[in-house]
Amino acid sequence: MFGLTKRVAMIVLSIWLVLTGLLSLTNIGFSGAGLVLNLLAIGAGVLILLQGESWPARIGMLLLGVWLTARGLLGLVNVGIQGIGLIMNLLAIAAGVLILVER
């Protein structure tokens, strides 16, 4: 079951990445694009967090899951947390570096 979860998580993450990139590069948007992207981010993040692999072996992916979920939630909820941008950027950098090192 967890293999399927990982596959679905990577598909949802891939769709989110492609849509985010295309919408940003083409400067084309559609009504509800932000909602769709936020929901995809939350979905990918939760699916990544549900994977059944050992925790220490995938800390980079765990951080990615937390980042995606937080990014999606922050996009849906108007919350004014001081320094959240810096925290999110540091979390993204940590996730990226750890994923590269884990490979």
- Averages of pLDDT over runs of 10 residues in the chain (103 residues) are 73 89 85 89 87 72 90 86 88 87 73
CA distance 26 to 32: 17
Residue whose structure tokens are 């979905």: 43
The pLDDT, as a whole number, for residue 75 is: 87
Token pair 């949802």 is found at 12
Rounded Cα distance, 55 and 15, in Å: 25
* The pLDDT of residue 56: 66
pLDDT at 80: 81
User: Residue 51: its pLDDT value, please?
Assistant: 78
